[in-house]
Amino acid sequence: MSQTRRLAAILAADVAGYSRLIGADEEGTLNRLRSIRTEVVNPSIVQYRGRIVKTTGDGLLVEFSSVVDALRCATEIQNAMAEGNAGVAAEERIEFRIGINVGDIVVEDGDIFGDSVNVAARLEGLADPGGICVSARVQEDAAGKLEVAFDDLGEQRLKNIARPIRVYRIRLGQHSNLTAPPVEAAPILPLPDKPSIAVLPFQNMSGDPDQEYFADGIVEEIITALSRIRWLFVIARNSSFTYKGRVIDVKQVGRELGVRYVLEGSVRKSGQRIRITGQLIDALTGTHLWADRFDGSLEDIFEFQDKVAVSVAGVIEPTLQAAEIRRSSERPTNDLTAYDLYLRAYAMFWSSARHIPEALRLTKQAIARDPRYGPALAWAAYCYVALLHGNRSENREADRRECIDFARRALQVAGDDPGVLTNAAYALAYFSEDIGAMMALVDRALAINPSFARGWYISAIIKLWAAQPDVAIEHVEVSMRLHARPSPAMV
Return per-residue pLDDT of the chain as tens, 491 residues: 567 888 899 999 999 888 888 888 888 888 899 899 989 999 999 999 999 998 877 889 999 989 999 999 999 999 999 988 888 887 888 999 999 999 888 888 778 888 888 899 889 988 888 999 999 889 888 877 777 788 888 778 777 777 788 888 888 764 333 333 333 444 555 666 678 889 998 887 766 666 676 778 788 888 888 877 777 888 887 788 888 877 677 888 888 888 888 998 888 877 778 888 888 888 877 778 888 888 888 777 767 777 787 778 777 777 777 776 666 654 433 335 677 788 888 888 887 888 889 999 999 998 998 888 888 999 999 999 999 888 888 888 899 999 999 999 999 888 778 889 999 999 999 987 788 888 888 988 888 888 788 888 999 999 989 889 899 898 888 887 765 344 433 33
Alpha carbons 122 and 338: distance in angstroms, whole number: 29
Q: How long is the chain?
A: 491
Kindly provide the residue ranges of all beta strands, DSSP E only, lying in 219-272, ordered along the sequence: 233-234, 261-270
Domain 331-481 CATH (choose: 1.10.10.200, 3.10.129.10, 1.25.40.10, 3.40.50.2300): 1.25.40.10
- State the Cα angle at 153 between 147 and 154, rounded to 5°: 120
Residues 6+ apart with CB under 8 A from 432: 465
Region class of 432: left (phi > 0), else alpha (psi between -120 and 50), else beta: left
Residues 6+ apart with CB under 8 A from 67: 9, 100, 102, 138, 141, 142
What's the predicted TM-score (pTM) here? 0.44
CATH code for the domain defined by 196-319: 3.40.50.10610
pLDDT of residue 3: 74
Residues 6+ apart with CB under 8 A from 247: 90, 91
How does DSSP assign 354-384, residue by residue?
A: GGHHHHHHHHHHHHHH-TT-HHHHHHHHHHH
Alpha carbons 89 and 92: distance in angstroms, whole number: 5
Specify which residues 97 forms β-bridges with.
14
| Residue ranges covered by each domain of the chain | 3-171, 196-319, 331-481
How does DSSP assign 396-433, residue by residue?
A: HHHHHHHHHHHHHHHHHH-TT-HHHHHHHHHHHHHTTS
Domain 3-171 CATH (choose: 3.40.718.10, 3.30.70.1230, 3.40.50.2300, 3.30.420.10): 3.30.70.1230
User: How many beta carbons lie within 10 A of that of residue 304, not counting itself?
Assistant: 19
User: How many beta carbons lie within 10 A of that of residue 405, not counting itself?
Assistant: 14
Angstrom distances, CA of residue 457 to CA of 389, 453, 463, 476, 483: 17, 7, 10, 5, 10
* Chain Cα centroid distance, residue 403: 34
The 3-state DSSP class for residue 439 equals helix
Q: Do domains 196-319 and 331-481 have the same CATH topology?
A: no
Q: Which amino acid is at 232?
A: L
Nearest to 421 by CA among 381, 371, 362: 381
Alpha carbons 440 and 448: distance in angstroms, whole number: 12
Nearest to 362 by CA among 385, 390, 336: 336
pLDDT of residue 489: 37
Nearest to 7 by CA among 99, 106, 98: 106
Alpha carbons 364 and 386: distance in angstroms, whole number: 15
